[in-house]
């Protein structure tokens, strides 16, 4: 009876567990060679100033084209890369590639790169960033780094020293996914961030009173502190209008553009600028 029970109680979830574990192991092994096999690629998503109808820059978002499994989301493999010690080389590849590719964009368009908290454990992070800027020739003012508040949870003094070093070089620092962590507001006073990115979870349902209240508070506080604000995950005209009503002029999201391959950046800029020029030209013709 025990045997039968055992078989019944295990058999139906064990294969699923096994599959998940195997898939995870496979991701770990494959990650080890993905970099040298050239399986990573950067996609770019624009930052749009809705009032000025301008684009200030693009965020670099990594993509993994796995030869058998197709595209794997960074949400899936970045945490694993962090655990197995692969994030440092991958992160440097992202920085180097983003800076090199941004050199082809019209100045002063900037590129924004996500940094993992784990990268701050590398004693060479600051020197690596400075070297990559030098080697690629990208002016530091055209590089932004995005960190989440979890970066500030541990070894805060050494982290702050690195961040201050970046600032001194002229690199701008954004706080990503703002509002999702533990004590977001406190962190804003600990380091002079250039920009706060309001997390898409608040933008998704702005009709909810609580979400609108958070967004309003973040915008108010940031403005009072002289910090820029950008809303992430804007998908609809309605969300755009609600954010504009709260004086949030800068936005990012599928409504404006999905992340796209680097080969599409130039054409996107051209189309965007042409569309933005149209009402201006019309207005000029009316004069
Ligand atoms: P993130 O930095 O907060 O990036 C925003 C994510 O939201 C991106 O997902 C982007 O494609 C997605 N997104 C943009 N607009 C919309 C929208 O309107 N609606 C919805 N539903 N989603 C939108 P992605 O590219 O899958 O990246 C997920 C996360 O993975 C990033 O979140 C970031 O934390 C991490 N990541 C991506 N690239 C890198 C990287 O190069 N280095 C590190 N350390 N992390 C990265
Ligand atoms: Mg980001
Ligand atoms: Mg984010
Ligand atoms: Mg995120």
Q: How far apart are CA 188 and CA 218, in angstroms?
A: 10
Q: Name residues whose C-beta falls within 8 Å of residue 122's C-beta, 6 or more positions apart in sequence.
A: 88, 128
- Is pLDDT of 8 > 80? no
Residue 189 confidence (pLDDT): 85
Q: Which atom of ligand 1 is nearest to the CA of 98?
A: 41
Residue 11 confidence (pLDDT): 53
Report the pLDDT averaged over residues 125-133: 98
Nearest CA to ligand 1 atom 33: 114
> How many CB atoms neighbour CB 31 within 10 A?
21
Residue 286 confidence (pLDDT): 64
Residue 2 confidence (pLDDT): 45
Q: Which atom of ligand 1 is nearest to the CA of 119?
A: 44
Nearest CA to ligand 1 atom 8: 61
Residue 278 confidence (pLDDT): 81
Q: Pick from 83, 84, 78: which is nearest to 114 by CA?
A: 78
Residues bordering ligand 2, an ion, CB closer than 5 Å: 114, 146, 176
- Is pLDDT of 165 > 90? yes
- Is pLDDT of 50 > 60? yes
Angle, alpha carbons 169-85-155 (nearest 5°): 50
Burial class (CB in 10 A: 0-12, 13-18, 19+), 1: exposed
Predicted confidence band of residue 123 (pLDDT cuts 50, 70, 90): very high
* C-beta separation of 271 from 54 below 8 A: no
Report the pLDDT averaged over residues 122-135: 97
Predicted confidence band of residue 28 (pLDDT cuts 50, 70, 90): very high
Mean pLDDT of the chain: 92
> How many CB atoms neighbour CB 257 within 10 A?
19
Q: Which atom of ligand 1 is nearest to the CA of 232?
A: 15
Least confident of 52-56, 86-90, 153-157, 226-230: 153-157
pTM (2 d.p.):
0.93
- Is pLDDT of 7 > 70? no
Pairing between β-strand 40-49 and β-strand 260-261 as defined by DSSP bridges: antiparallel
Q: How far apart are CA 166 and CA 159, in angstroms?
A: 11
Q: Pick from 173, 161, 80: which is nearest to 118 by CA?
A: 80
> How many CB atoms neighbour CB 4 within 10 A?
8
Q: Name residues whose C-beta falls within 8 Å of residue 130's C-beta, 6 or more positions apart in sequence.
A: 169
Residue 237 confidence (pLDDT): 97
Centre of ligand 3 to C-alpha 12, Å, is 37
The conformational region for residue 233 under phi > 0 = left, psi -120 to 50 = alpha, else beta, is left
The structure tokens listed for 233 are 């995950």
């Amino acid at each position: 009876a025990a045997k039968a029970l055992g078989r019944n109680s295990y058999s139906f979830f064990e294969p699923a567990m096994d599959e998940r574990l195997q898939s995870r192991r496979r991701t770990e092994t494959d990650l080890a060679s993905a970099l040298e096999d050239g399986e990573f690629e950067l996609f770019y998503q624009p930052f749009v100033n809705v009032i000025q109808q301008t684009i200030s820059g693009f965020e670099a978002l990594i993509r993994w084209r796995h030869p058998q499994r197709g595209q794997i989301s960074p949400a899936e493999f970045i945490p694993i890369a962090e655990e197995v010690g692969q994030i440092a080389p991958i992160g440097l590849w992202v920085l180097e590639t983003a800076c090199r590719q941004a050199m082809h964009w019209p100045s002063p368009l900037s590129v924004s790169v996500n940094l993992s908290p784990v990268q701050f454990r590398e004693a060479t992070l600051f020197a690596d960033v400075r070297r990559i800027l030098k080697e690629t020739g990208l002016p530091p003012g055209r590089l932004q780094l995005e960190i989440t508040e979890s970066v500030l949870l541990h070894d805060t003094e050494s982290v702050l020293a690195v961040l201050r070093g970046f600032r001194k070089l002229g690199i701008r620092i954004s706080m990503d996914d703002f509002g999702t962590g533990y004590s977001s507001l406190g962190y804003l006073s600990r380091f002079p961030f250039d920009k706060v990115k309001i997390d898409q979870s608040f933008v998704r349902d702005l009709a909810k009173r609580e979400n609108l209240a958070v967004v309003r508070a973040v915008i108010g506080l940031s403005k009072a502190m002289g910090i820029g604000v950008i809303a992430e995950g804007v998908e609809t005209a309605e969300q755009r209008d609600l954010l504009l009503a709260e004086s949030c002029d800068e936005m990012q999201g599928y409504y404006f553009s999905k992340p796209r391959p680097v080969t599409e950046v130039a054409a996107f800029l051209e189309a965007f600028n042409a569309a933005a020029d149209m009402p201006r030209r019309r207005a000029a013709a009316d004069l």
